[in-house]
Structure 1
Amino acid sequence: MQILSNVVRYIISLPPAVFIGIVMGVLCLVFGGGIKNALRSACLFSVGMTGINLIMSYCVGEMQSIATALSTRLGIELSMIDGGYGSGGSGGSWMFPGAIPALCIMLVINIVFILLKWTDTMWTDVHNTWHGIYIGLLIYALTGSVLYGTIVAIITLVIMLKLGDLTAPTFQEFNGTPNIAVYATSATIPAIFTFFVMKVINKIPRLKDLKADAESIQDRFGIFGEIMVIGMLLGIILGILAGYNFKNIMMTGVVMSATMTLFPKMAALICEGIVPVTTSVIGFMNKHFSGRKLNVAVDPAMLLGDPSVMASFVILVPISIVMAMVTPGIAFIPIASLAGMPYWIGGVVPYTKGNVVHTVICMSLYIFLASLVATQLGPIVTEAARLTGRMTEAIASGITIVSWDEGGSFIGYAFVKLFKLLGLSVL
């Protein structure tokens, strides 16, 4: 069992771009796509995800510097530290003792659900099972019970499965990617939240009819509506707000412009890589299962291609900082967690149809609630980090660690409240 556990942990520890590329290539082969298509699909996926990760790292690094500068200028000093993915995330999740059993049971559940027609998606995105397993880790930290944590992890993964099925049609239609689904709650929970918020927005005169998607903005403002120019202008404004000198202001503008220009191109590579896989799956299902539809689960990076994603991200960074400053109940400045925000937005824009104004409204509300939840879950996130050997020096000094994703999870919060109500908390 230990050998199997080590092998699984090693495979899952592969960089997402490598892991997903291998999985997509193997899938294409298994479903009869041939070596040529399998190799092409694997390369396109890996190159696209690598490009997105590189651009994301560069952009997020710049935005984190701006966030730090803004918080310093505004004199914000809060009691908790944003650990981001470093406080747990995909690495720490797999150190949870119940992680491998939860993963294996979930894969069996997925097969059973497919056979019973309770789902139409193969959970090929094994890497992102960490989102559900991290919730199990939180319950382990809260209760001290591996069993409770494992059960919660499995329940959360089943919830993720159904949320993936629920959001798949909207994600597919907006992004033009048939037969794909996303299970990561970093995309699906904000998506479901936005679905309900848009019900309200669509009842408000003028606001509901406001055209603010990339195409409408460009038609209205000409050259100043082009996403490349918008990125430059937003970057310059943020640089000024951060108190940068002229050189750094202009560099921030270039970084934002490059980000908004290159992101869709990298996402397009991933979309191209999907085609051989989904074509093979469709052909196989038509031949053997009377044309039944079957989706392929992919990384939420798939959802980052629309220009409104990064445009909204740049606008939301200062909003997040100011929100932390003025809102009672939020005890941290979101800086490290900014790396997860684009994935939230990627799940939101299919429901706002790429409308930047609607996206900013929905995301501001979501960030507000997630930040409140993250503050309340801080002590549990800190204990989870300690148990998995993360940020040990900071924790030993008495610092409380928080994070947005999954440390600000609504699902995790609900389970924590349930176990406390049952009197099973040891914290």
Structure 2
Amino acid sequence: MLEIIKGAVNYVLDLGAAAMLPLILTIFGLILGQSISKSFRAGLTVGIGFTGLNLVIGLLSDSIGTASQAMIERLGLSLDILDVGWPIAAAITFATPIAVILIPIIFIFNIILLSLNQTKTMDVDLWNYWHLIFPGAMVYYATDSIVIAIVATLVNAYVVFKLADWTAPAVEKFFGLPGISLPHGETVNFAPITYALNKIWDKIPGINKININAGTLKDKLGLFGEPMMIGLVLGLGMGFLAGYDSKEIIQLGIQMSAVMILMPRMVALLMEGLSPIADAAKSFIQKRFPGKKVYIGLDAAVVTAHPAIITVALLMVPITILLAAILPFNRLLPFADLAVLPFTVIWSVAASKGNIFRGLLNAIVSLCIVFFIATNLGALTTTLAHAVGFAFPEGATMISGIDMSSHITLWIMLKLIDPSNVPAFAAGVIALLLYGGLWFWTRNDIKKQFETKE
């Protein structure tokens, strides 16, 4: 029976988000009282939008990946933990024996939290549940206990859903996505930190006066401040740093220019499909639960099209490689996940309200944390990969990744699960108090910035 369930789950997951979402949203629309034609049209439009978005992200990944490898080779970096990228991380996570039971557990837990008013987020992005399962899988191989792994998974999921609720007003007002939240631990985990950093930048003379955003760039630079030109310039610069010849530099510039233009258009198509579902969800909830608000939890990819995010992410590619080289504690060789920097910097940019300068500062601090976690947990991520039979790339003895190492709550939990290891436990307690304190310190920021009357 377990094999049948596992086969059914794997079949659905293998469809991918672009194929799953039309089905899920069609069913969701019918539950909300929409007609089958309207529900199916909305779901299919979302699937088309995601397909287009994934094609653009694929272009970004291929271009950035090749250029990054060239930059790494030019610097002669030789670090012993290889960044294998999020697709490998997802495959490894879903291959763990605990994954098949965690998927329904997380889904049911989400429903229970909604019914108890403990969250406003309904995470419908089932394919990306791997982000919620990964911490549980790591804890499972750290403790060899299914019970502890399940508890850790639910604790992490609860924190992620609460962070998604907390940041949803910014998703609506800053990114223009009403009724949407982003329950992805590897991105939203950084929101308390980046919002706290933004409060610090407000207090520093000089830095608090610098405001560079997409709007001001366009006003001051004219044509050269437009997204397509920013992409072109950044692509040309990256090609130069990679040591490309003139033809390759020009090609990379055009590709980055295309990314800057195409990503927002794909997101607009995706939102065309989501809007009727979000409106139906709002009406459904208002009729049955007056005064209650529910957010639809989606893939963080829906906000990566913001011009400031793409700009900061492209600027962070060479900066991330440089950080890997100069940070004395780092052992991670950044590679495959350099293409997911648009995800990593989401809350660096959102916390700064699109200020590219502050977004860069926030992103640099965030990446320093990522490198620390990757180095500290490199042995455990390698154990996880060996356990599921992952075929290591030639010459690689340890693996991790930027995405895998962006789970701050996971790192804290791993330090707290073994009180007998006094130094690690003490570090976990300090990190928990600091992280919780930052969240408490900035808890009203988004409300003050984005609060509107319901």
Tell me the TM-score normalized by structure 2: 0.88
For residues 340 and 390 of structure 2, what CA distance do their matches in structure 1 show? 18
Could you list the per-position Cα deviations for residues 84-130 of structure 1 after superposition, in whole angstroms to 9, with x for gaps in the alignment? 2254x222222222223323222222222222222222222222221
Could you list the per-position Cα deviations for residues 50-92 of structure 1 after superposition, in whole angstroms to 9, with x for gaps in the alignment? 11111111112211211111111122112221112254x2222
The answer for the alignment partner of 2:161 in structure 1 is 161
Out of 410, 413, 427, the residue aligned to residue 411 of structure 2 is 413
Aligned-partner residue type, residue 419 of structure 1: I
247-256 or 4-13: which moved more?
4-13
Contact 1:86 1:390 in 2 (8 A): no
For residues 116 and 412 of structure 1, what CA distance do their matches in structure 2 show? 25
Contact 1:133 1:154 in 2 (8 A): no
Aligned-partner residue type, residue 75 of structure 1: G
* Structure 2 CA distance for partners of 1:408 and 1:117, relative to 1, 3 Å: closer
The answer for the alignment partner of 2:375 in structure 1 is 375
The answer for the alignment partner of 2:74 in structure 1 is 73
Query: Could you tell me how far 1:392 is from its partner in structure 2?
Result: 4.3
CA RMSD of aligned residues (A): 2.0
Contact 1:135 1:406 in 2 (8 A): no
Query: Residue 50 of structure 1: SS of its match in structure 2?
Result: helix
For residues 355 and 104 of structure 2, what CA distance do their matches in structure 1 show? 40
The answer for the alignment partner of 2:340 in structure 1 is 340
The answer for the alignment partner of 1:185 in structure 2 is 185
Structure 1 regions of 5+ residues with no counterpart? none
Aligned-partner residue type, residue 102 of structure 1: L
Contact 2:348 2:360 in 1 (8 A): no
The answer for the alignment partner of 2:254 in structure 1 is 254
For residues 347 and 22 of structure 1, what CA distance do their matches in structure 2 show? 30
Query: Could you tell me how far 1:418 is from its partner in structure 2?
Result: 2.1
For residues 417 and 129 of structure 2, what CA distance do their matches in structure 1 show? 22
Q: After the TM superposition, which segments of 4 or more aligned residues of structure 1 sit over 4 Å from their partners?
A: none
Contact 1:211 1:217 in 2 (8 A): no
Contact 2:378 2:400 in 1 (8 A): yes
Contact 1:70 1:241 in 2 (8 A): yes
Contact 2:186 2:406 in 1 (8 A): no
Could you list the per-position Cα deviations for residues 129-152 of structure 1 after superposition, in whole angstroms to 9, with x for gaps in the alignment? 211211111122222333322222
For residues 13 and 153 of structure 1, what CA distance do their matches in structure 2 show? 22
For residues 244 and 238 of structure 1, what CA distance do their matches in structure 2 show? 9
Is it true that 1:33 corresponds to 2:31 in the alignment? no
Aligned-partner residue type, residue 81 of structure 1: L
The answer for the alignment partner of 2:326 in structure 1 is 326
The residue correspondences of 1:16-415 to structure 2 (distance < 5 A) are 16-87=17-88, 89-392=89-392, 394=394, 399-415=397-413
Contact 1:329 1:372 in 2 (8 A): yes
Contact 1:99 1:150 in 2 (8 A): no
Could you list the per-position Cα deviations for residues 378-424 of structure 1 after superposition, in whole angstroms to 9, with x for gaps in the alignment? 11001101112223465xx6711121222342222212222344459
How many residues are aligned here? 422
Could you list the per-position Cα deviations for residues 333-367 of structure 1 after superposition, in whole angstroms to 9, with x for gaps in the alignment? 21111132211223332222111111111011100
Contact 1:406 1:412 in 2 (8 A): no
For residues 255 and 71 of structure 2, what CA distance do their matches in structure 1 show? 18
Query: Could you tell me how far 1:332 is from its partner in structure 2?
Result: 2.4
161-170 or 376-385: which moved more?
161-170
Query: Residue 97 of structure 1: SS of its match in structure 2?
Result: coil
* Structure 2 CA distance for partners of 1:339 and 1:281, relative to 1, 3 Å: same
